[in-house]
Amino acid sequence: MSNSATEPRPLTEATPTMGEVIVETRNLSKVYRDFWGRPKVNALKALDLEVRRGEIFGLLGPNGSGKTTTIKLLLGLLFPTSGEALVFGEPATQVNKNERIGYLPEESYLYKFLNAEETLDFYGRLFKMSVKERRERIAHLIDMVGLGWAKRRQLKEYSKGMTRRIGLAQALINDPELIVLDEPTTGLDPIGTREMKDLIIDLREQGKTVLMCSHLLADVQDVCDRIAILHQGDLKELGRVDSLLRVSGITQIQAEGLNAQTQDEIRALIERSGAKLLKIDNPTTTLEDLFLSIVQDSEARPGRRARIEK
């Protein structure tokens, strides 16, 4: 992806919570039945949630919690057993809403016998856009997902990561207002994962609404404004990520350039105030950041070998 960034980006503070409702579920339930119509799995139970314009909303939960079912209901791939799923104010089964939606499925379910250009051209023809506009968009998206070198190869020759990228490109072919991403980082290497997360944040900055589901907590934490945590079909938690993760009663101070004497003074000050000091140490970086900086360094100075500590 062209705008790869290695620095973690802070969440935008001004996330709208009172904007236009783009996605809404009311008492949404889904029961999977067997061949004879007998209830088999109660996949989703009376889900109520709203996703507003311009936010990144994450559906979080372990496998089988109802995340993908919710997304499929919102896309009209499944019919609700009860309740309503509304997208842009219309029932999810309405086809017209799809003009404004981009969807990246859990795995990129694409036609393997087409190449990247043909794939994007085919999906582009399903939307109202001129030939010129379509061609420009295809060229831009192929460039964006970094597949210019393989655009004439059939998808059956693509690696999983490449397929994922072209899948993302097809989801964005219509410049959608709402992007639905099902496990967007599955199958991507750390660089791809970071690029995907950057892209999601970029999309929000372009005013798009993103609804994603994942069971990778770090992904959700990094990009989502609000999350809903599902478990066994029930909504367990809903709110802003920063609010949900905030630990009240514990204060964290981060500073740069503190010497040992100043640190001792701070300790003394905390003790004098009657508070309990839990920890003063140097923070560690994440493995993701370390990996990305090594790769970046390796690309800048090829041939440099690791120094093994004995």
Partner 1 sequence: MVLEKDILSLSEWLLVNSPVVLFLAILLTALGLLTGFLIAVLRKGPLEAFGIVARNVFEGLSDLTQLSPRRLGAMTWLAVQEAIRRKILIAFAVFVVILLFAGWFLDRSSEDPAQLYISFVLSTSNFLVLVLGIFISTFSLPNDIKNRTVYTIVTKPVRIWEILLGRMLGFTLVGTMLLAMMCGFSYVFVVRGLDHRHNLQQFEAEHDAEDTPSGDLSPTGDKQAAGENQIVTEPEKAKGLASPNTNDGSADGRRTTHDHFHRHSIQQNDDGSLQTDFAMAHQHSVIEENDKFRFGPPIGMLQARVPVAGTLRFKDDAGNDAVKGINVGSEWGYRSYVAGGTLAAAIFTFDNITEERFPRDKYPHGLPLEMTIRVFRTYKGIIDQRIQGSITLKNPDPNVPNEQARQRSTPFIFEPSEFYPKQEAIPWKLKLQRPDGTTDNGDLMKDLVHDGKIEVWIQCEDRQQYFGVARNDVYLRAADRPFWLNFIKSYVSIWCQMFIVICFGVMFSTVLSGPVAMLAAAASLVMGYMSTFVTELVFQQVEGGGPIEALIRVLTQLNLSIDLGFGWLDSVIKTIDWVLLLGMRGITAVLPNFENFATTHIIAPGFDIPTDYVLQHLFMAGAFFILVSVAGYFLFKSREIAA
Binding residues vs partner 1 (CB under 8 A): 32, 37, 72, 75-79, 95-96, 98-99, 101, 103, 105, 107, 109-111, 113-114, 118, 122-123, 125-128, 167, 170, 174, 180
* Shortest distance, position 200 Cβ to partner 1, whole Å: 18
Q: Nearest distance from residue 214's CB to partner 1, in Å?
A: 18
Q: Which is nearer to partner 1, 15 or 25 (CB)?
A: 25
Closer residue to partner 1 in complex, CB, 46/77: 77
Q: Minimum Å distance from CB 77 to partner 1?
A: 4
- Answer for the pair 188, 4: CB distance below 8 angstroms, yes or no: no
Which two tokens mark 7? Answer: 């620095």
Q: What is the DSSP letter of 99?
A: G
For 67-104, b/e burial (b = at least 16 CB within 10 A) is bbbbbbbbbbebebbebebbbbeeebeeeebbeebbbb
Q: How far is the CB of 103 from partner 1 (least distance, A)?
A: 4
Q: Give strand pairing partners of 50.
A: 24
Shortest spacing between CB 190 and partner 1, in angstroms: 26
**Closer residue to partner 1 (CB): 126 or 245:** 126
Q: Cβ 126 to partner 1, closest distance in Å? A: 4
Is residue 58 packed enough to be buried (19+ CB in 10 Å), middle (13-18) or exposed (0-12)? Answer: buried
Query: Which residue lies nearer to partner 1 by CB, 16 or 91?
Result: 91
Choose between 85 and 292: whose C-beta lies nearer to partner 1. 85
Minimum CB distance to partner 1, residue 30 (Å)? 10
Please name which of 216, 215, 204 lies closest in space to residue 179, comparing C-alpha atoms.
204
Q: What are phi and psi of 34, to 5 degrees?
A: -90, -175
* CB closer to partner 1 out of 71 and 203: 71
* Dihedral angle, C-alpha 43, 55, 99, 206, nearest 10 °: -150
Which residues, 6+ apart, have CB-to-CB distance to 85 below 8 Å? 24, 25, 28, 73, 74, 91, 92
Of residues 128 and 276, the one with the C-beta less far from partner 1: 128
Angle at 246 between CA 241 and CA 247, to 5 degrees: 150
